[in-house]
Amino acid sequence: MAPDLTSGNLVQFPGKGGGEPEEMMDENTVLVQRTLRSGQSIYFDGNVVIVGDVNPGGEVVATGNVVVMGYLRGVVHAGAGGNEKAAVYAFRMRPTQLRIANHITRAPDGDDNGPIVPEIARIKDGTVVIETFSSGSER
């Protein structure tokens, strides 16, 4: 059965950020083949791959990794539930706010410069770092 992933709270989490760390669930991945517009959201217990953009006002929350094969401008939360190993990948990384596990970051106010290249956000030494993504550099 194909659930309507965009209608709201599909999957309930044990509370954002608070849960115990769990293993990455690579077998549990959903592919979303469209752009998430303002007001649309995806909540998923696993990894989320979006073939499209996440517009401002759109929201993706996943217990695993989030991959955006497009422009990420909305709010993204990877590792919701507490997984600190989760990462966010985006072809163009300009999120309104980016959360991994219980870490919350946003771009500095007014900072809209920097490269428009594929990037990866993940936790290193307790803080979220965003780096240029090149295949094979990790994992």
Partner 1 sequence: MGEVIVITSGKGGVGKTTTSANLGAGLASLGDKVCLIDADIGLRNLDVVMGLENRIVYDLVDVTSGNCSFRKAMIKDKRFENLFLMPAAQTKDKTAVSPEQMRALTEEIKSEFDYVIIDCPAGIEQGFRNAISGANQAIVVTTPEVSAVRDADRIIGLLEKEDLREPKLVINRMRYQMVKHGDMMSIDDIIDILAVDLLGVVPDDEQVVISTNRGEMVVMNDSSRSGQAYRNIVRRIKGEDIPMMNLEEEGGFFRKLRQIIGLK
> Which positions lie near partner 1, rule CB under 8 A?
35, 37-40, 53, 55-57, 71, 73
List, as own/partner pairs, every contact residues 19-27 make where C-beta atoms lie below 8 angstroms and the sequence separation is at least 24, other chains included: 19/81, 19/82, 20/82, 21/82, 21/83, 21/84, 21/85, 21/101, 22/63, 22/81, 22/82, 22/83, 24/64, 24/65, 24/83, 24/85, 24/86, 25/63, 25/64, 26/64
Closer to partner 1 at the Cβ: 58 or 81?
58
**Beta carbon of residue 60, minimum distance to partner 1 (angstroms, whole number):** 14
Which position has the token pair 């760390």? Answer: 21
Closer to partner 1 at the Cβ: 96 or 105?
96
**Beta carbon of residue 37, minimum distance to partner 1 (angstroms, whole number):** 4
**Beta carbon of residue 98, minimum distance to partner 1 (angstroms, whole number):** 19
Closer to partner 1 at the Cβ: 55 or 65?
55
**Beta carbon of residue 52, minimum distance to partner 1 (angstroms, whole number):** 9
Closer to partner 1 at the Cβ: 35 or 102?
35
Phi-psi region of 7 (alpha: psi -120 to 50; beta: other; left: phi over 0): alpha
